Structure 1
Amino acid sequence: MASKIVFMCSLLLLISYSSQNDNPKTSNSTRVLSAAHTELTNYGLPVGLLPATTILGYAVNQTSGDFSVHLAGPCKITLPPDNYVATYSKKITGKIIKGRIAELDGISVRALFKWWSITGIRASDDNIVFEVGMVTAKYPSKNFDESPACEGRHSAS
């Protein structure tokens, strides 16, 4: 009986590990999202703002809005629809309130042959607005309905 339980647990872990390492070109709709992804929706933001990777932990101070997310490793993704390459550090911090993330640290995007830190993200009607200092870029929020898979060597974290 104990060996059957160990076998079933091992099988479930293997299935769980495999689902986290899907090919980035396949659908993410069957992935189980972390509590950190769910927390984004509680603040009116789409889950696709965080990559589909192993999240070791997250914390949100409900009073101040300060948060931190700890990923298993750095992560590189391609942001829709313009295919900008973005990187996520192992630790992402900022302040979150309804529909907005400010003082963001830990996410960068490559544009115009240079890496830029994304300093804020906000929901605006049916759009997501990314802030890079004083510059903003607006995209349809439907592009972030699913959490993208990490690419490259950190995708198996």
Structure 2
Amino acid sequence: MIKFKSFLFLFSFLQFIIAGSSQNPNPSQSPSSAHSELTNYGFPIGLLPSATVLGYSINHTSGEFSVDLGGACKVTLPPDNYPATYSKKITGKIGHGRMAKLDGISVRAFFKWWSITGIRASGENLVFEVGGITAKYPSKNFDESLPCEGKHLAS
């Protein structure tokens, strides 16, 4: 039963990201350097929200990265309206086509917050990891970034 609920959550979460990331509410906003850097590693820019990026760093030897959004960012993932948050700081390890040890991205489903722990590029798809569960979706659904809702909470 737990595996089935986990699968339903992940499936719904990925549906929301796919539907929401294909929207471009602010087409005139150009991507930040951090957004553009994602493409150097084989990822679409829509994996980051369209929030103001105050800074980012990448250790090209180890792959460790950090993105400073300056404040928490909330987005609602359609079509099921799951709330998701990006912390003011997102960290992880990146290599071509692979992000691991992600920290700072969560989605709420089934009365619980779930952390996105990894993302892999696989051909024309992205494979999302939430704990031990994975799901594959077309990467083209992440060509555009979602905007933060309400006030972007800078601290």
TM-score by structure 1 length?
A: 0.77
Local SS of the residue matching 1:37: helix
* Alignment gaps of 5+ in structure 2: 1-22
1:26 & 1:146 partners in 2: Cα distance? 6
Q: Deviations over 1:116-155 (max 9, x none)?
A: 0111011122222211110112222121100110012327
In 2, are the aligned partners of 1:53 and 1:155 still within 8 Å (CA)? no
- What is the aligned residue count? 133
In 2, are the aligned partners of 1:80 and 1:143 still within 8 Å (CA)? no
Bigger drift between 45-54 and 131-140 goes to: 131-140
2:150 & 2:76 partners in 1: Cα distance? 11
**Which residue is equivalent to 2:10?**
none
| Residues 82 and 63 of structure 1: CA distance in aligned 2, closer, same or farther (over 3 Å) | farther
Q: Which has the larger radius of gyration?
A: 1
In 2, are the aligned partners of 1:58 and 1:70 still within 8 Å (CA)? yes
What's the % identity of the aligned pairs?
71
**Which residue is equivalent to 1:150?**
148
| Residues 81 and 66 of structure 1: CA distance in aligned 2, closer, same or farther (over 3 Å) | farther
Q: Deviations over 1:45-68 (max 9, x none)?
A: 010000001111000000000000
Bigger drift between 142-151 and 57-66 goes to: 142-151
Matches within 5 A, 1:45-124: 45-79=43-77, 83-124=81-122
**Which residue is equivalent to 2:29?**
31
* Alignment gaps of 5+ in structure 1: 1-24
**Which residue is equivalent to 1:18?**
none
Local SS of the residue matching 1:152: coil
Local SS of the residue matching 2:140: helix
